[in-house]
Amino acid sequence: MGLREKYYLPDEAGFWEASWYDRGELRLGSARAGAARVGILLCTELWFFECARHYARSGVELLCIPRVTPFDSLDRWLAAGRAAAVCAGAYCVSSNQWVPSGSGVEAGGAGWVMSPDGDVLAVTTDDEPFVTVEIDLDVARAAKQTYPRYVRE
C-alpha cells in the first residue's frame, strides 16, 4: 500500500536527492497496524515539526521514521526524534541504515524508540542492533490532551 512520497529532499554529497528525484506530494496520511494508527516521516521530514503536529491532530499513536543519516550527526537526530515525539504525542520509532565505513556514504546505524513525552526508551548499538519495547497506545492517546499538543494553531 502506498502511503507516503518523500517531500523534503536534501541536496549534498552522498544525498543528492533533490537532484536525482522529483519531490513527491506532501500527503501526511496514516494507516493502521493492528490497534495502532501509524504515521510516517521519511528521513529529512523529521526536521519539519509541523508534520509531527499534523499527526498529533490525526490521532497517530506511532510515528515511524526510516533514515539514512551519518554517524557524526546522531545526537542531533536523537534530539529531533525526541522533539517529534513530543509534537506528535506519539511513540517515535526510527531505523537507520547502516553503511560500512569507507563506502562513500557514512550512515550511522543507530535506531531508537521514544515515548510520547520524548523520553528515550531504547537506542540500538553495535552490540544490540535490534531492540523491542512494549508500548501502551493509551499513553499516546492521552498525550494528545496535554501541552503542547492541545494548543490550537
Distance (Å) of CA 31 to CA 38, 94, 99: 5, 17, 29
Q: Scanning the structure block, which residue is given the C-alpha cell 494528545?
A: 144
Name the grid cell of 137.
Answer: 497506545
How high is the mean pLDDT in each 10-residue block of the chain (153 residues)?
86 88 92 96 95 96 94 91 98 88 74 97 91 97 94 81
pTM to 2 decimals? Answer: 0.91
**Structure confidence at residue 36 (pLDDT):** 97
Name the grid cell of 42.
Answer: 521519511
**Structure confidence at residue 2 (pLDDT):** 78
**Structure confidence at residue 12 (pLDDT):** 86
The span from the CA of 67 to the CA of 124, in Å, is 14
Please give the domain boundaries of the chain with CATH numbers for all domains: 29-143 (3.60.110.10)
* 67 close to 40: Cβ distance less than 8 angstroms: no
